[in-house]
A and B are shown apart, each in its own frame.
Chain A
Amino acid sequence: MNKPVEQKDTRQSDGGGSHPIYLNVIDASCASCVDKIERALKAVPGVKDAAMNLAQRSVAVTGHVEGSSLIKAIESAGYTAKMAGDPSDRDSIDEQEKSDEVYYRRLLRETWAALSLGVPLMVYGLFIGEMSVNSPGQRLAWLSVGVATLVVMYWAGKHFYVGAWKSFLNHSANMDTLIALGTGTAWIYSMFVVLFPDIVPEMARHVYFEATAMIIGLINLGLALEIRARGKTSLAIKRLIGLQPKLARVIREGQELDVAIESVALGEHLRVRPGEKLPVDGVVLEGHTTIDESMLTGEPMPIEKGPGDTVVAGTINRSGTVIFEATKVGKDTALAQIIQMVKRAQNSKPPIGRLADVISAYFVPVVMIIAVLSALVWLNFGPEPRLAFAIVCATTVLIIACPCALGLATPMSVMVGVGKAAEAGVLIRNGEALQTASKLSAMVLDKTGTITLGQPRVTEIELVAGGLEEHVLSLAASLESGSEHPLAQSIVASAKERGISIEKVESFKAIAGHGVSGKVGAHELLFGNERLMNKHGIELGDSVAKGQAMAARAQTPMYFSVDGRLDAIIAVEDPIKEDSISAINRLKEDGVRIIMLTGDNRDTAKAVAQRVGIEEFYAEVLPGQKSEKISELQARGEIVGMSGDGINDAPALALANVGFAIGTGTDVAIESADITLMRGSLHGLADAIEVSKATMANIKQNLVGAFIYNVAGVPVAAGVLYPFIGILLNPVIAGAAMAFSSLTVVTNANRLRLFKASAA
Chain B
Amino acid sequence: MMLVNVAGLIVIALIVWWFWLYKPKAASDIGGDTVILVANGTYDPARLSIPPGKPATLKFLREDESPCSAVVVFADLDISKDLPVGKVSEVTLPALPSGEYPFTCQMQMYRGDLIVEENEK
Q: In chain B, what residue has the closest Cβ to A23? A: B88
Contact of A92 among B33, B68, B87 (CB under 8 A): B87
Q: A174-B41, A373-B12, A407-B107 are in contact. Are A87 and B32 (CB under 8 A)?
A: no
Q: A85-B89, A176-B41, A223-B66 are in contact. Are A170 and B46 (CB under 8 A)?
A: yes
Contact of A58 among B80, B88, B104 (CB under 8 A): B88
B118 contacts the other chain (CB 8 A) = no
Q: A56-B87, A226-B67, A227-B67 are in contact. Are A430 and B40 (CB under 8 A)?
A: no
Q: A95-B84, A344-B80 are in contact. Are A103 and B66 (CB under 8 A)?
A: yes
The reply to whether B87 and A58 form a contact with Cβ atoms under 8 Å apart is yes
A90 to chain B, nearest CB (A): 12
A408 contacts the other chain (CB 8 A) = yes
Contact of B42 among A55, A170, A373, A376 (CB under 8 A): A170
The reply to whether B67 and A166 form a contact with Cβ atoms under 8 Å apart is no
Which residues of the other chain, B, contact A361 by a CB distance below 8 angstroms?
108, 111
A369 contacts the other chain (CB 8 A) = yes
Which residues of the other chain, B, contact A20 by a CB distance below 8 angstroms?
32-33
Which B residues between 1 and 59 are near A, CB-CB below 8 angstroms? Answer: 1, 4-5, 8-9, 11-12, 15-16, 18-20, 22, 24, 31-33, 39-42, 44, 46, 57, 59
Which B residues between 64 and 121 are near A, CB-CB below 8 angstroms? Answer: 65-68, 70-71, 73, 75, 78-82, 84-90, 104, 106-111
The reply to whether A343 and B82 form a contact with Cβ atoms under 8 Å apart is yes
Which residues of the other chain, B, contact A362 by a CB distance below 8 angstroms?
20
Q: A19-B57, A373-B12 are in contact. Are A407 and B106 (CB under 8 A)?
A: yes
A758 contacts the other chain (CB 8 A) = no
A372 contacts the other chain (CB 8 A) = yes
Alpha-carbon separation in the docked complex, A479 to B90 (Å): 55
A116 contacts the other chain (CB 8 A) = no
B4, B31, B32, B70: most-surrounded residue (chain A CB, <10 A): B32
B40, B109, B111: most-surrounded residue (chain A CB, <10 A): B109
A457 contacts the other chain (CB 8 A) = no
Which residues of the other chain, A, contact B104 by a CB distance below 8 angstroms?
357
Q: In chain A, what residue has the closest Cβ to B40? A: A166
Contact flags (1/0) for A383-405 with B, using CB distance below 8 Å? Answer: 00000000000000000000110
Which A residues between 49 and 86 are near B, CB-CB below 8 angstroms? Answer: 55-58, 60, 84-85
Q: In chain B, what residue has the closest Cβ to A18? A: B32
A380 contacts the other chain (CB 8 A) = yes
Alpha-carbon separation in the docked complex, A380 to B3 (Å): 12
Q: In chain B, what residue has the closest Cβ to A91? A: B84
B60 to chain A, nearest CB (A): 9
Alpha-carbon separation in the docked complex, A365 to B75 (Å): 23
The reply to whether A162 and B67 form a contact with Cβ atoms under 8 Å apart is no
Q: A365-B19, A365-B20, A404-B107 are in contact. Are A84 and B90 (CB under 8 A)?
A: yes
The reply to whether A85 and B108 form a contact with Cβ atoms under 8 Å apart is no
Alpha-carbon separation in the docked complex, A100 to B41 (Å): 17
Which residues of the other chain, A, contact B67 by a CB distance below 8 angstroms?
100, 103, 226-227, 230
Q: Chain B interface: which size bin?
A: 35 or more
The reply to whether A99 and B86 form a contact with Cβ atoms under 8 Å apart is yes
The reply to whether A22 and B65 form a contact with Cβ atoms under 8 Å apart is no
Which residues of the other chain, B, contact A92 by a CB distance below 8 angstroms?
84, 87
Contact of A56 among B61, B65, B71, B107 (CB under 8 A): B61
A163 contacts the other chain (CB 8 A) = yes
A96 contacts the other chain (CB 8 A) = yes
Which residues of the other chain, A, contact B80 by a CB distance below 8 angstroms?
343-344, 347-348
B10 to chain A, nearest CB (A): 10
Q: A18-B31, A85-B90, A379-B1 are in contact. Are A172 and B42 (CB under 8 A)?
A: yes
A37 to chain B, nearest CB (A): 16
B56 to chain A, nearest CB (A): 9
Which residues of the other chain, B, contact A19 by a CB distance below 8 angstroms?
32, 57
The reply to whether B109 and A175 form a contact with Cβ atoms under 8 Å apart is yes
Which residues of the other chain, B, contact A163 by a CB distance below 8 angstroms?
40-42
The reply to whether A166 and B89 form a contact with Cβ atoms under 8 Å apart is no
Which residues of the other chain, A, contact B9 by a CB distance below 8 angstroms?
376
The reply to whether B4 and A85 form a contact with Cβ atoms under 8 Å apart is no
Q: In chain A, what residue has the closest Cβ to B65? A: A103
Alpha-carbon separation in the docked complex, A403 to B81 (Å): 23
Which residues of the other chain, A, contact B33 by a CB distance below 8 angstroms?
18, 20, 60
Q: In chain B, what residue has the closest Cβ to A98? A: B85
Alpha-carbon separation in the docked complex, A404 to B41 (Å): 13
Alpha-carbon separation in the docked complex, A309 to B79 (Å): 35
Alpha-carbon separation in the docked complex, A17 to B22 (Å): 37
Q: In chain B, what residue has the closest Cβ to A364? A: B19
Which residues of the other chain, B, contact A167 by a CB distance below 8 angstroms?
40-42
Alpha-carbon separation in the docked complex, A364 to B18 (Å): 12
Alpha-carbon separation in the docked complex, A164 to B40 (Å): 8
A368 contacts the other chain (CB 8 A) = yes
The reply to whether B86 and A365 form a contact with Cβ atoms under 8 Å apart is no
Q: A20-B32, A56-B61, A376-B4 are in contact. Are A407 and B82 (CB under 8 A)?
A: no
The reply to whether B32 and A24 form a contact with Cβ atoms under 8 Å apart is no
The reply to whether A380 and B78 form a contact with Cβ atoms under 8 Å apart is no
Which residues of the other chain, A, contact B42 by a CB distance below 8 angstroms?
163, 166-167, 170, 172
Which residues of the other chain, A, contact B110 by a CB distance below 8 angstroms?
174
A349 contacts the other chain (CB 8 A) = yes
The reply to whether B108 and A407 form a contact with Cβ atoms under 8 Å apart is yes
A154 to chain B, nearest CB (A): 15
The reply to whether A174 and B109 form a contact with Cβ atoms under 8 Å apart is yes
Alpha-carbon separation in the docked complex, A231 to B76 (Å): 27
Alpha-carbon separation in the docked complex, A349 to B20 (Å): 25
The reply to whether B8 and A376 form a contact with Cβ atoms under 8 Å apart is yes
Contact of A380 among B1, B31, B70, B82 (CB under 8 A): B1
Which residues of the other chain, B, contact A372 by a CB distance below 8 angstroms?
8, 11-12, 15
Alpha-carbon separation in the docked complex, A189 to B32 (Å): 48
Alpha-carbon separation in the docked complex, A226 to B81 (Å): 21
B31 to chain A, nearest CB (A): 6
Contact of A171 among B24, B32, B39 (CB under 8 A): B24
Alpha-carbon separation in the docked complex, A99 to B86 (Å): 10
Contact flags (1/0) for A314-354 with B, using CB distance below 8 Å? Answer: 00000000000000000000000000000110011100000
The reply to whether B8 and A375 form a contact with Cβ atoms under 8 Å apart is yes
Contact of B108 among A22, A165, A357, A380 (CB under 8 A): A357
Contact of B111 among A60, A87, A172, A380 (CB under 8 A): A172
Which residues of the other chain, A, contact B20 by a CB distance below 8 angstroms?
362, 365
Which residues of the other chain, B, contact A55 by a CB distance below 8 angstroms?
86
The reply to whether A380 and B87 form a contact with Cβ atoms under 8 Å apart is no
The reply to whether B84 and A96 form a contact with Cβ atoms under 8 Å apart is yes
The reply to whether A348 and B78 form a contact with Cβ atoms under 8 Å apart is yes
Contact of A347 among B39, B73, B90, B108 (CB under 8 A): B73
A621 to chain B, nearest CB (A): 33
Which A residues between 148 and 191 are near B, CB-CB below 8 angstroms? Answer: 159, 162-168, 170-176
B89 to chain A, nearest CB (A): 4
Which residues of the other chain, A, contact B57 by a CB distance below 8 angstroms?
19
A411 contacts the other chain (CB 8 A) = yes
A102 contacts the other chain (CB 8 A) = yes
Alpha-carbon separation in the docked complex, A162 to B63 (Å): 13
Which residues of the other chain, B, contact A171 by a CB distance below 8 angstroms?
18-19, 22, 24
A360 contacts the other chain (CB 8 A) = yes
Alpha-carbon separation in the docked complex, A19 to B15 (Å): 40
Alpha-carbon separation in the docked complex, A170 to B44 (Å): 9
Assuming A165-B40, A172-B42, what are 10 further A-B pairs, CB within 8 angstroms?
Answer: A85-B81, A99-B65, A100-B67, A159-B40, A174-B109, A174-B110, A347-B106, A360-B109, A361-B108, A369-B15
Q: In the A-B complex, list the 5 residue pairs whose CB atoms are closest, starting with the nearest.
A: A407-B107, A347-B80, A163-B41, A85-B89, A18-B32
| 8 contacting pairs across A/B (C-beta < 8 A) | A19-B32, A103-B65, A159-B40, A171-B19, A223-B66, A357-B75, A361-B111, A379-B1
